[in-house]
C-alpha cells in the first residue's frame, strides 16, 4: 500500500468518525433559526444576549435544580404565552400554532443568548393588542346605542382555560361581549352613558398609546421573567432601572404610600401594606386590590393597565406631603370595571412606626373573675443593621423592644395571666430578629433550619440563656403573616410554648439572594426554611391550632396562589426538647371557641359574608341582559343589607334603611380604619377571642394543677 493510499484511508476514517460523532452529539450543531412569525417590530439589543447567558448560568444555582432541556423549554413557552395573554383574548389559534415551532427550542436558544423567539412572539402580541384596542375605539365611535342589552348573551369571567379564538370573527365576538360587560357594569354603578363613553375612550386610548411605547428592554424583562418564574415566583430579573427601584424600596428613605406591589396579568396588584405606612394608616387600600389608574393631586387620572410595574411605582412615588389618587378594582370585585377612587397622602415609612407596642385586655371569667391578658403587637421584624454592624449598644431591634415591653408587663400589678403575640399582617423582615425573639421564650435550643440547594442544612440556635416570659402564650396570625413571622410562630408551636390562633399564614418559606449581572440583577431562590420539627413553612404556611374566619380568598392571596411556588416538604427534625404539650387541651379549647363564635355577631357576620363572596367567586359567567343583571344585583344587595342589619341589631346598633346607607357606611369604614391596638371605641373581635381562648387555657392549666395537687395529697 502506497503512502498516499494510507493517508487517504486514514482521512476517510477520520471523516467517518467525525460524521458519526456529529450524528450522536447533535447538540454540537446549531439548529437553523426558524423564520419569524411577525415581520419587523422590536429586536433585542447587544447587551441582552450577554445578560441572558449570565442569567442561565446563575439559574444553575437555583434551589429547584431544574435542567435546561425540552421539558423546561415547554414550561417557559407556556408561561410566556400566559404572561402575555392570560385570558386568551389577543392571540388567535393560528398564531399559537405558528409559535409552536419554538416550543422545544427555547432552552437551546437562551443558553446561546438567542432571544429571537421571545421577541418574535411579543411583536405579534403587540400587533394583536393594538388591533383589539382599535376595534374597541371604533365600536365606541358608533355610540353606546349600537350595543344591545336585551338578549340572552353572557360573558365568561375567566377565559384562561378556553380555546384560542379560531377566527377574527370569533375574536370580535369575545371583545363585543367584554365591551358590553364594561358598559353594563358602569351603568349598574350609577354612571351615566356620557361619562361611560368618556371613561372607556380614555382608558382604551391610554392603553393603545402605552402599547406603542414598548421598548426592547421591556420585552427582554418580560421574556426573561417567563424563564426565571418557571423556577419559582420569587426568582426575578430586574433591569438596571427596576434594580434601582428595588434598591430604593429596600431602604427606609422611600417616600410614597408604603405598599408592596406586584405585576399580575395586565394589572398592578397590592400584595401587602407596610406597617406604619401611609396606605396602612389611611385604611382605604387593601391587599389584593388592583390599581388601574394613578393621578397626581388634581391632575387627570392616568390609566396604568398594561404598564410595567416600575413605571406604576414611579407614578405613585412622590415627595412627602403630596397626595396621590388611585383608581382601584377592590379585592373580590366581580368586574374589572367596578372601580373606585381613593386618595393617599405620601409620607415616609418610619422605623418607629413599625415598633412593637403593648396593651392589656381583660377577659371576663366565671364567678366574676377577670383574666388580664398582655398583648404585644409586632408589625414587622425590624433591625437597624447599620447600628448593629457598627457595634452600637443601643441599636433598634424587635427583640430589644419586645424584651423591654415584656419587662414592663412582668412588673404589672396585678400580674398578667397570659401573653398574646400579635403577628397579624406582619410580612416578615430580619431572620436574625425572628430567631432572637424565639430565644425570649424557650430558654435555649435550635430555632429554625435552613437547607440550601445542595441539601446542606444549617441550624440557627438560641444563643441567649434563660427566658423573659414562661407563662401561657398565644400567637395571633392571619394570611398576611409571612416569612419571619412564620419562623417565630412555627417555633412556638413546635416547642409547645404557645397556641397558634387565627388563619393559615402566607406560606413564604424560601430564601432569596440578589446577584449582580452586567446588565441588571437577578433575585434567586437558593434555600428553604424548615421548622425544628423538620416541617417546611413553604406553601402550606403555619396551620393554626384554633382557626378563625377571615374575609380573605386563599386562592388569591398566599404562596399557594402563586404559579410555580415551591412545594411543602419535610426534612429530618433537629434535636430539640418541647417544653410543653398543649395537644391534650386543644379539644376543650376548640369546643369553647366554637361555642362563642356560634353566637358572636361579628363572626356570624364574617361567615355569612364569606358564603356570599364564595357564591360570587364561583360564577363563571354573567348575563349581558340589562334587566336580568339589575335583578341579580338587587338580590345581591338585599342579602348584603340583611347580613349587615342582622349584625347591627345583635350589637345594639340602628339598622340601615337601604343600600345607599350601606355604601356610605362602607366609604366611612375605609376612611376610618379600625385601630388594631384597641385605641378606638370598638373592640377588636379577633384579639378579644384570642384573649378568651388564652383565658380558657389559663383556667384549664389551673384546674390541672389543682387536680395534681389534690391527687398528691390523697396519696400522702
Positions annotated as catalytic residues are 483, 494, 508
Q: How far is CA 654 from CA 123, 158, 244, 649, 651, in A?
A: 59, 40, 52, 7, 9
**Residue 459: which of 539, 508, 531 has the closest Cα?**
531
**Pairing of the two strands 323-329 and 510-516:** unpaired
Cα of 431 vs its chain's centroid, Å: 20
Burial 171-192 (b: 16+ CB within 10 A, else e): beebbbbbbbbbbbbbbbeeee
Kindly report the length of the chain. Answer: 716
Question: Which cell goes with 675?
Answer: 385601630
Contacts (Cβ under 8 Å, ≥6 apart) of 544: 477, 500, 501, 502, 503, 504
Listed residue (230, 225, 219, 216) closest to 262, CA to CA: 225
What is the rounded distance in angstroms from the CA atom of residue 469 to the CA atom of residue 466? 9
Nearest to 544 by CA among 589, 579, 510, 575: 589
177 CA to centre of own chain? 30
> Of 440, 381, 439, which is closest to residue 407 (Cα–Cα)?
440
- H-type helices in 153-304, by residue range? 168-188, 193-211, 216-231, 240-250, 278-282
Residue with cell 494510507: 6
Q: Is the dihedral of CA 675, 680, 684, 690 positive or negative?
A: positive
Give the whole-angstrom CA distance, residue 90 versus residue 125.
Answer: 7
User: Are 491 and 442 contacting, i.e. CB atoms less than 8 angstroms apart?
Assistant: yes
Rama region for 264: left / alpha / beta (φ>0; ψ in -120 to 50; rest)? beta
Amino acid at each position: 500500500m502506497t503512502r498516499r493510499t494510507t493517508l487517504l484511508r486514514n482521512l476517510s476514517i477520520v471523516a467517518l468518525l467525525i460524521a458519526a460523532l456529529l450524528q450522536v452529539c447533535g447538540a454540537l450543531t446549531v439548529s437553523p433559526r426558524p423564520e419569524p412569525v411577525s415581520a419587523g417590530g422590536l429586536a433585542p439589543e447587544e447587551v441582552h444576549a450577554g445578560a441572558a447567558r449570565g442569567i442561565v448560568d446563575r439559574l444553575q444555582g437555583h434551589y429547584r435544580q431544574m435542567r435546561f432541556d425540552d421539558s423546561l423549554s415547554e414550561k417557559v413557552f407556556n408561561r410566556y404565552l400566559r404572561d402575555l395573554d392570560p385570558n386568551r383574548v389577543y392571540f388567535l389559534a393560528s398564531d399559537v400554532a405558528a409559535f409552536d415551532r419554538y416550543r422545544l427550542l427555547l432552552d437551546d436558544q437562551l443558553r446561546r443568548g438567542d432571544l429571537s423567539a421571545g421577541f418574535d412572539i411579543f411583536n405579534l402580541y403587540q400587533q394583536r393588542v393594538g388591533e383589539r384596542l382599535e376595534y374597541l375605539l371604533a365600536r365606541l365611535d358608533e355610540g353606546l346605542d349600537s350595543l344591545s342589552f336585551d338578549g340572552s348573551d353572557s360573558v365568561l369571567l375567566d377565559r384562561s382555560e378556553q380555546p384560542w379564538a379560531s377566527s377574527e370573527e370569533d375574536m370580535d365576538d369575545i371583545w363585543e361581549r367584554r365591551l358590553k360587560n364594561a358598559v353594563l357594569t358602569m351603568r349598574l354603578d350609577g354612571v351615566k352613558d356620557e361619562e361611560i363613553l368618556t371613561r372607556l375612550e380614555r382608558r382604551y386610548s391610554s392603553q393603545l398609546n402605552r402599547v406603542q411605547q414598548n421598548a426592547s428592554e421591556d420585552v427582554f424583562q418580560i421574556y426573561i421573567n417567563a424563564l426565571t418564574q418557571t423556577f419559582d415566583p420569587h426568582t426575578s430579573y430586574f433591569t438596571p432601572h427596576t434594580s434601582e427601584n428595588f434598591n430604593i424600596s429596600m431602604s427606609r428613605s422611600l417616600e410614597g404610600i408604603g405598599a408592596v406591589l406586584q405585576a399580575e396579568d395586565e394589572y398592578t396588584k397590592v400584595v401587602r401594606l407596610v406597617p406604619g405606612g401611609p396606605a396602612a394608616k389611611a385604611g382605604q387600600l387593601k391587599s389584593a386590590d388592583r390599581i388601574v389608574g394613578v393621578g397626581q393631586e388634581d391632575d387627570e387620572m392616568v390609566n396604568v393597565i398594561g404598564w410595567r410595574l416600575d413605571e406604576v411605582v414611579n407614578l405613585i412615588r412622590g415627595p412627602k406631603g403630596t397626595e396621590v389618587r388611585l383608581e382601584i378594582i377592590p379585592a373580590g370585585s366581580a368586574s374589572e370595571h367596578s372601580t373606585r377612587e381613593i386618595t393617599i397622602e405620601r409620607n415616609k415609612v418610619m422605623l418607629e412606626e413599625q415598633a412593637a407596642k403593648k396593651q392589656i385586655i381583660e377577659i371576663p371569667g366565671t364567678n366574676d373573675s377577670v383574666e388580664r391578658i398582655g398583648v404585644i403587637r409586632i408589625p414587622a421584624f425590624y433591625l437597624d443593621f447599620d447600628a448593629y454592624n457598627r457595634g452600637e449598644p443601643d441599636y433598634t431591634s424587635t427583640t430589644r423592644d419586645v424584651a423591654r415591653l415584656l419587662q414592663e408587663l412582668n412588673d404589672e400589678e396585678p400580674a398578667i395571666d397570659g401573653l398574646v403575640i400579635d403577628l397579624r399582617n406582619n410580612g416578615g423582615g430580619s431572620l436574625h430578629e425572628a430567631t432572637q425573639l424565639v430565644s425570649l421564650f424557650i430558654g435555649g435550643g435550635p430555632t429554625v433550619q435552613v437547607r440550601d440547594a445542595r441539601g446542606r442544612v444549617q441550624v440557627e440556635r438560641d444563643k441567649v440563656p434563660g427566658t423573659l416570659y414562661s407563662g401561657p402564650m398565644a400567637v395571633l396570625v392571619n394570611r398576611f403573616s409571612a416569612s419571619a413571622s412564620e419562623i417565630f410562630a412555627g417555633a412556638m408551636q413546635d416547642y409547645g410554648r404557645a397556641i397558634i390562633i387565627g388563619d393559615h399564614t402566607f406560606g413564604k418559606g424560601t430564601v432569596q439572594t440578589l446577584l449582580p449581572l452586567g446588565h441588571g440583577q437577578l433575585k434567586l431562590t437558593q434555600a428553604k426554611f424548615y421548622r425544628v420539627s423538620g416541617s417546611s413553612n413553604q406553601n402550606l404556611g403555619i396551620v393554626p391550632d384554633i382557626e378563625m374566619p377571615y374575609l380573605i380568598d386563599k386562592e388569591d392571596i398566599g404562596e399557594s396562589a402563586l404559579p410555580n411556588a415551591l412545594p411543602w416538604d419535610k426534612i429530618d427534625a433537629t434535636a430539640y426538647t418541647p417544653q410543653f404539650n398543649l395537644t391534650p387541651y386543644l379539644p376543650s379549647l376548640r369546643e369553647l371557641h366554637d361555642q362563642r363564635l356560634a353566637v358572636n355577631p361579628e363572626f356570624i357576620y364574617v361567615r355569612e359574608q364569606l358564603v356570599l363572596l364564595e357564591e360570587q367567586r364561583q360564577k363563571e359567567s354573567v348575563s349581558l341582559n340589562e334587566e336580568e343583571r339589575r335583578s341579580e344585583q338587587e338580590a345581591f344587595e338585599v342579602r348584603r343589607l340583611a347580613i349587615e342589619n342582622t349584625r347591627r341589631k345583635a350589637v345594639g346598633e340602628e339598622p340601615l334603611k337601604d343600600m345607599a346607607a350601606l355604601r356610605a357606611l362602607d366609604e366611612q369604614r375605609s376612611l376610618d380604619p379600625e385601630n388594631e391596638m384597641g385605641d378606638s371605641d370598638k373592640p377588636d373581635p379577633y384579639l378579644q377571642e384570642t384573649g378568651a381562648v388564652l383565658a380558657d387555657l389559663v383556667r384549664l392549666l389551673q384546674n390541672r394543677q389543682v387536680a395534681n395537687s389534690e391527687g398528691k395529697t390523697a396519696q400522702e
